[in-house]
Structure 1
Amino acid sequence: MKITAARVLVCCPGRNFVTLLVETDQGVTGIGDATLNGRELAVASYLTDHVIPNLIGRDPSRIEDMWQFLYRGSYWRRGPVQLSAVSAVDTALWDIKAKMAGMPLYQLLGGKSRERVLVYGHANGGTLEETVEAVGRYIDMGYKAIRAQSGIPGIEKAYGVARGTLHYEPADAALPTETVWDTPKYLRFAPKLFEALRKEYGEEPELLHDVHHRLTPNEAAQLGKSLEDYRLFWMEDPTPAENQQAFRLIRERTTTPIAVGEIFNTIWDAKELIENQLIDYIRTTVLRAGGITHLRRIADLASLYQIRTGSHGATDLSPVTMGAALHFDTWVPNFGIQEYMRHSDETDAVFPHDYHFADGFLHCGETPGHGVTIDEELAAKYPYSPAQLPVARLEDGTMWSW
């Protein structure tokens, strides 16, 4: 069996996606997601100009060897552009292997560890009251776990507040939108939000919150401490993870669980946090962390330290990644939760899939492969549209983490 062709499709059914299709001499095609929000064309070029020429004529069943070739064989390595491309190839090859075996992907990974996958949705509003109402709507839809983000008095364009009701896409302009951040206002407001949510809905729903790398370690510890009474499922990305020892200060000062890793690319980005037990959930993804092959290694390392998975699942990954992720989630023994931000109707039409949501859980399908395809004719009707993520500055103009 040989790879005979591979091509990249870039489309924008509501937001930009980069999709890799790998074709074989036996008529089986595998599909992978290579989307990198705001930098889509960089990955498309890396695939087209550097990766695809190396795929032609190779045996697609040699997934491990291909991963090592694309990663270890590359002198310049470990960045998000390269690993997004490697992830797309890896996902496509697993898709091919499962199709050839006539099995859903989870079977090749070792079979089910669970029957369904717990997911959380995104509830948000411009005010505290609107966010409380939004959480209620997600509860009514059957969600058992909900991420709550709110506009903050005195801060315009707060992170996590969508322009619509269900779909949140922060990449909003060809050049980055500038937002303003004020940490003291946020630290005063956040506990009030979760106090109101617990007062309204009691202890039953699991509540999550994304800090989005905005705080210093000491500020993050203050926030975690102030939220302990409201029993958060996790506090996500409380501080930038370049200095992983910074999480020791947070860990020592609060029992609020910590989740990190959606922007990590390899096991080496997570190694220190995991081995020192400085986090509770690792959020690396099939799309960003080298595909299923490498994500398995990260999950296995985490399992040694009783750290569970909580993979990123926003709309900056396509249904192709969500389908593959659900097969991974169905298998992985130390699963925790899966983020599930719903795609637009246009996106779902371009990427037909067999997974479905019911009663707070996602269920992967039984179709051979990862269960997601692409309607190329429909995709061609949604051409690429330049869009970048916002940036943030403090009120005095200092550049800050968005």
Structure 2
Amino acid sequence: MRVTAVETIQLGEFPNLCLVRLHTDEGLVGLGETFFGAEAVAAHVHETAAGRLLGRDPSAIDGLRLALANYVGTRSTGVEARANSALDIALWDLLGQATGRPVVDLLGGMTRPAIRAYNTCAGYRYVRTTRAQMMQNWGLPDPDTKAGPYEDLDAFLQGRAGELAE
């Protein structure tokens, strides 16, 4: 199996997210992702990293990791690190597909049966409500009340799915 194409995808809805897809001659496609500075990450992937991956065996992850991290001073910071992280994820995804094994097993196995979820974002409704309260406190005009892109999800999760059909 060989890497035949390296693709980056940037979504307008999430401008800081950069998805990476590695295509192989066997038709498999590995998916990786990273965040922040998506345009710079995509540029690094295409201008620097792709040439070090094309034609190579994607299952040789350690060797490819070394080939991608050969610049002094850029191994653990910045655009290069984020690009290499996305590529590393895509390589493990390919290896999992090629071997039919879950990536968790390839990485050494599960260490605990479950983890607690933690969420630091509150959603558009919270942001709008908080902003409206601040505007009222300062006696400013009513804030823009446009719906965010996930209002349909809010309605669904709160048992108001009927609103979605309106």
TM-score, shorter chain, exceeding 0.5: yes
Which residue number corresponds to residue 75 of structure 1?
72
Deviation of 1:16 (Å): 3.5
Deviation of 1:76 (Å): 4.8
Residues 1:16 and 1:164: Cα distance change in structure 2 (over 3 Å): farther
Measure the CA separation in 1 of the matches of 2:42 and 2:121: 32
By relative contact order (CA 8 Å, sep 6+), the higher-ranking structure is 1
Deviation of 1:121 (Å): 2.2
Match of 2:113 among 115, 124, 142: 115
Which residue number corresponds to residue 17 of structure 2?
17
Which residue number corresponds to residue 50 of structure 1?
48
Runs of 4+ in structure 1 off by over 3 angstroms are: none
Structure 1 or 2: more helix by fraction: 2
Residues 1:70 and 1:24: Cα distance change in structure 2 (over 3 Å): same
Deviation of 1:123 (Å): 6.7
Q: Does 2:64 correspond to 1:103?
A: no
Measure the CA separation in 2 of the matches of 1:12 and 1:96: 26
Q: In structure 2, the residue corresponding to 1:21 is in which secondary structure?
A: strand
Which residue number corresponds to residue 4 of structure 2?
4
Question: Greater shift after overlay, 8-17 or 105-114?
Answer: 8-17
Residues 1:6 and 1:123: Cα distance change in structure 2 (over 3 Å): closer
Q: Does 2:32 correspond to 1:35?
A: no
Which residue number corresponds to residue 171 of structure 1?
none
Q: In structure 2, the residue corresponding to 1:111 is in which secondary structure?
A: coil
Letter in 2 for 1:62: A
Deviation of 1:82 (Å): 0.6
Measure the CA separation in 2 of the matches of 1:6 and 1:109: 23
Deviation of 1:163 (Å): 5.3
Query: Which runs of structure 2 are paired with 1:245-256 in the superposition (5 Å)?
Result: none
Q: In structure 1, the residue corresponding to 2:22 is in which secondary structure?
A: strand
Measure the CA separation in 2 of the matches of 1:14 and 1:59: 31
Deviation of 1:113 (Å): 1.7
Measured against aligned partners, the alpha-carbon deviations of 1:217-247 in whole angstroms (never above 9, x if no partner) come to xxxxxxxxxxxxxxxxxxxxxxxxxxxxxxx
Residues 1:123 and 1:67: Cα distance change in structure 2 (over 3 Å): closer
**What stretches of structure 1 of length at least 5 have no aligned partner?**
125-161, 167-343, 349-402
Q: In structure 1, the residue corresponding to 2:80 is in which secondary structure?
A: helix
TM-score when normalising by structure 1 = 0.30
RMSD of Structure 2 on Structure 1 (CA): 2.4
Deviation of 1:96 (Å): 0.4
Deviation of 1:107 (Å): 1.3
Measured against aligned partners, the alpha-carbon deviations of 1:148-201 in whole angstroms (never above 9, x if no partner) come to xxxxxxxxxxxxxx75438xxxxxxxxxxxxxxxxxxxxxxxxxxxxxxxxxxx
Query: Which runs of structure 2 are paired with 1:2-401 in the superposition (5 Å)?
Result: 2-36=2-36, 39-71=37-69, 73-78=70-75, 79-122=77-120, 164-165=125-126, 345=150
